[in-house]
Amino acid sequence: MHRAVSLRRAFLRSRGRVLAVLFAIVTGTASAGDLAATPGVTVEGTAFVLQRPGQRPLKGAELRGMVLNIEIGGRVEAVRLARISPDPDDAEILRHEFERQDESGQWHSACEPNFEGETWGIPVGPGAGQASHTGAISLTCSSGAIAKCIRYGYKPWGRGHNGENLAPYFAACVRMIRADYAGDGSPHTKPGTFIKFHDEAVRWQRDPAPATDYVFEAGWSPEGAVCVAHVRWPEYGTRETILASSPDLARRSATCTEESARASGALIFSASRISPRVGR
């Protein structure tokens, strides 16, 4: 399904990075003595699971109010799971309100608001949306590409409309949301930019009347753009400069249409505005 979506940068802020979980969890208020690691924390979908020897595991909303000890820039800090609730549009996704303590001990939201003013985030399993598989759980805010792609239906643990493995679609979506054309980790977009996109696995239905102010932008794979026809924000790199930095992408972009991108292995197809702007 074609749909305009708002794009924000994919960081849970320490201020600005995905956070690695040290598999530590405690109840109540954090203190210096609470920071000893407790084994048994995993993620299923977007739900934390805490295995407890001799007891049934706690999962999802049952962890509400608990505190995770996480590493931010090499330093262990406490993050409270202040609220956990299902996404109103997809009950499989659990929204977590992550909170961190300031120097006075007061708890505040760990996430900056997304374009809709929401401050929730989600945990993701090892390797999801990351360049390397570190073996650690990570947290991401709703303003980030990882959370956005999961919410758009590209769940790396799931299956598509025709039984497709959605892990590569998820990886392609993360590249698309970030406008990471060359697949080198460099974003070329602004928070609040809207695009349209579709595929054959999740968003296969087409708009009956496509918007005339959008043009085909690129086809996307887990490695980045298969080819580039139009760039989202030329001020972050024109098509010419982006292609000049990547000879392989330039070769594939000599002809770039949805049909040629599909033939070259693209999984998702995006369109962006002819004249870029933030918002609807």
In tens, the pLDDT along 168-189 reads: 999 999 999 999 999 999 999 9
Are 82 and 185 contained in the same domain?
no
For the stretch 207-262, pLDDT in tens is 666 678 999 999 999 999 999 999 999 999 999 999 999 999 999 999 999 999 99
Residue 145, domain member (yes or no): no
Residue 66, domain member (yes or no): yes
CA–CA distance, 52 with 200 (Å, rounded to integer): 41
For the stretch 10-63, pLDDT in tens is 333 333 334 444 333 333 333 444 444 346 778 899 999 988 899 999 999 999
pLDDT of residue 24: 38
Are 157 and 251 contained in the same domain?
yes
Residue 2, domain member (yes or no): no
What lies within 8 Å, CB to CB, of 182 at 6+ separation is 224, 225, 242, 245, 246, 249
Mean per-residue pLDDT of the chain:
83
3-state helix, strand, coil in the chain (%, to 5): 15, 35, 50
Are 130 and 196 contained in the same domain?
no
CA angle 99, 278, 274 (to 5 degrees): 145
User: Which of 140, 168, 189 marks a domain boundary?
Assistant: 140
Single pTM value for the model: 0.83
| Beta-bridge partner residues of 75 | 72
Are 155 and 166 in contact by the 8 Å Cβ rule? The answer is yes
Structural tokens at position 45:
């979908």
Are 121 and 216 contained in the same domain?
no
Are 156 and 280 contained in the same domain?
yes
Are 267 and 220 in contact by the 8 Å Cβ rule? The answer is yes
Residue 146, domain member (yes or no): no
User: Which of 140, 175, 207 marks a domain boundary?
Assistant: 140
pLDDT of residue 77: 75
Residue 190, domain member (yes or no): yes
Give me the residue label for tokens 């697949």. Answer: 183
CA–CA distance, 255 with 276 (Å, rounded to integer): 23
Are 171 and 227 contained in the same domain?
yes
Residue 102, domain member (yes or no): yes
pLDDT of residue 127: 63
Are 217 and 180 in contact by the 8 Å Cβ rule? The answer is no
pLDDT of residue 10: 34
Residue 140: other Cβ atoms inside 10 A: 26
Residue 133 has pLDDT above 60, yes or no: no
Q: In a 3-state reduction of DSSP, which class is residue 271?
A: strand
Task: Report the domain count for the chain.
Answer: 2
Residue 71 has pLDDT above 80, yes or no: no
For the stretch 186-203, pLDDT in tens is 999 998 999 999 999 998
Range of the domain at 27: 9-140
pLDDT of residue 168: 97
Are 157 and 130 contained in the same domain?
no
User: Which of 118, 140, 162 marks a domain boundary?
Assistant: 140
Are 176 and 231 contained in the same domain?
yes
